Amino acid sequence: MNSVFSKPLAAIASLPLLCAVAIAASAPPPAVNYDESKVGNYTLPDPLVCADGTKVTDAATWRAKRRPEVLELFRTHVYGRSPARPAAMKCEVTAEDKNALGGKATRREVTIYFLGTKDGPKMDLLVYLPNGAKRPVPAFLGLSFGGNHAVANDPGVKLSSVWMRPSKDKGIVNNRATEASRGTEAGRWQVEMLLARGYALATAYYGDIEPDFAEGWKVSTRAAFAKDGANTQFAPDDWGAIGAWAWGLSRALDYLETDRDVDAKHVAVIGHSRLGKTALWAGAQDERFAIVISNNSGEGGASLARRWFGETTAIINKAFPHWFCGNFKQYAGNESKLPVDQHELIALAAPQPIYVASAEEDRWADPRGEFLSAKNAEPVYRLFGKEGLGVDDMPAVNHPVGKTIGYHIRTGKHDVTAYDWEQYLNFADHHFGHRK
């Protein structure tokens, strides 16, 4: 095929959007592809065509009919089903310092007991509030890879005591955090930048909800909710780890709704990499999130599953069998049979603003696939009278685009940088009408 897919990644910024058509492959593709000329053709499911074949032409029909259908498809085939908020859940403020980070912030530490008991599953939430800003303040909420103590160079934060992935250079020894791990993710969170702009930051460690390895669920929230605990056999559409992590984000928002210093109507949910997938799924299920932000979320997140570039469904299911529901495994190497694709996940956030970000060197996450996913979500946003990306072509690096759907691809690798945060804060300022 002679198309935009034949161009190298460096040239994609100047190329027009292609509406792909279905052509059967003549032979099984190799596991990983970084050659645009070999991407091939595919057909994306139409988010506006209902199961009975009728076309959605207005926002009311989307909300009442089509959106529930699409959400159900993702629950059944990709992320699984999550439980509701437990009636017995309790939140306890365990520590507070009104002069944290040299007086710039009030630091609040909160423990959320999911089942209301201290010997049951729980999550520690860290909240930084900007001192000097008029309260309540808007907030960003996300899960971290390194624990609350790693988010900022703040010796006052309780050191996480649960499982962590080994990393001597980040101060993790024998799967446990040490003092050397403090502040090791500070570059990814830019706490002082957020505070200076008048935003709160709320974070929790994803391992509090479920340790990130195949058998981690046995000592996690999923086991606590399972009928037979760690001996349970999950149904094909039961929640996976991403579903559990997303569920935890909603429980954090439950707490923020009770915190008078936080404007819970203006909370942006954010995530990077596997936690970017998590943020997208949280935003799709929980419409209380006012903005949804995906940073380098790739396969199973913002990038199109049907686009054969970088990580694939087969690779992600093999490497991380615990992330998705059991049904998702049947689409490994069989993405054309998947009844949804990731542009519809983005569309589920409508009409709430959503931002998708890529990195030029992060080819594993397929930046063009992330852009195309955001682009193909636009028809749903138009039902609400909302502008999407505002462009047909993928932008050049470091040139953010978009209105209600935002997008940028920046220079650099798979990471969250100060540049990314500057764009997210500008996006939030615009949509929240916020100025410090």
Contact 237/81 with Cβ under 8 angstroms? Answer: yes
273 as an active site residue: the answer is yes
Please tell me whether the peptide bond between 351 and the residue prior to it is cis, using omega within 30 degrees of 0: yes
Output the six-digit token pair for 59: 């926002």
d(Cα 408, Cα 423) in Å, to the nearest integer? 8
Residue type, 231: N
Output the six-digit token pair for 395: 């932008």
**DSSP string covering 269-310:** EEEETHHHHHHHHHHHH-TT-SEEEEES--TTTTS-TTS-SS
Tell me which DSSP letter residue 231 carries.
Answer: G
Residue 9 contacts by C-beta under 8 Å, 6 or more apart in sequence? 34, 36, 360, 363, 367, 368
399 as an active site residue: the answer is no
Choosing from 6, 167, 414, 434, which is the catalytic residue? 414
Residue type, 282: A
> Crossing angle of helices 241-256/274-285, nearest 10°?
60
Choosing from 82, 160, 220, 273, which is the catalytic residue? 273
Active site residues: 273, 414
